[in-house]
Amino acid sequence: MSFTSPLPIWNNPGQKPPASTIERGWGAGEYPPADWFNWQWYTAYKALEEIQKLAATTTDLDAHTKDTTLHVSITEKTAWNDKETKSGAQTKANTAEENAKTYVNQQVGDKTTLLTANKTNLTAAVNELFTSANNGKEGIANVIGAPLTKDQTFAQMKTSIQTLKNQLATNLVAQEQPAQGSESLQALINKVPNIYTGKKWARGTGEGIQDGTIFKRLGGNDNAYPYLDIAGLDFIPGVVVAVQSGSPYHYVTVYTQYPLVDGLQACTAYMRGDATANTNVYATSFDTLNIGMKNGHFLLPLGAAGAFKWIAYEW
The per-residue pLDDT for 187 is 93
- 283: nearest Cα among 269, 294, 293, 271: 269
Q: Are residues 222 and 186 in the same domain?
A: no
Asked if the structure places residue 172 within a domain, the reply is yes
Give the Cα separation of 141 and 158 in Å (integer).
11
- 171: nearest Cα among 141, 195, 152, 204: 195
- Please state the rounded mean pLDDT for residues 104-112: 77
What residues contact 89, with CB distance under 8 A and at least 6 apart?
none
Where in the sequence is the domain holding 219, given as residue range(s)?
Answer: 201-314
User: Do residues 304 and 249 make contact, with C-beta atoms less than 8 angstroms apart?
Assistant: yes
Give the Cα separation of 245 and 308 in Å (integer).
8
The per-residue pLDDT for 277 is 44
Q: Are residues 188 and 269 in the same domain?
A: no
Give the Cα separation of 262 and 220 in Å (integer).
13
241 burial level (CB within 10 Å; 0-12, 13-18, 19+): middle
pLDDT tens track for 234-255: 777 878 888 887 766 778 888 8
User: Do residues 310 and 301 make contact, with C-beta atoms less than 8 angstroms apart?
Assistant: no
Asked if the structure places residue 267 within a domain, the reply is yes
Q: Are residues 228 and 252 in the same domain?
A: yes
Average pLDDT for the chain: 81
Q: Are residues 212 and 308 in the same domain?
A: yes
The per-residue pLDDT for 266 is 64
Asked if the structure places residue 121 within a domain, the reply is no
User: CB-hemisphere CA count at 13 Å for 189?
Assistant: 4
The per-residue pLDDT for 253 is 82
User: Do residues 310 and 240 make contact, with C-beta atoms less than 8 angstroms apart?
Assistant: yes
Count the domains in the chain. Answer: 2
208 burial level (CB within 10 Å; 0-12, 13-18, 19+): buried
Q: Are residues 232 and 276 in the same domain?
A: yes
User: Do residues 161 and 146 make contact, with C-beta atoms less than 8 angstroms apart?
Assistant: no
Q: Are residues 244 and 291 in the same domain?
A: yes
172 burial level (CB within 10 Å; 0-12, 13-18, 19+): buried
More confident residue, 257 or 304: 304
Domain boundary among 193, 225, 243: 193
Q: Does the pLDDT value for residue 300 go beyond 60? A: yes
pLDDT tens track for 251-291: 888 887 766 655 556 676 666 555 444 455 555 666 655 66
- Model confidence pTM above 0.75: no
pLDDT tens track for 125-155: 888 888 889 999 899 999 989 899 989 999 9
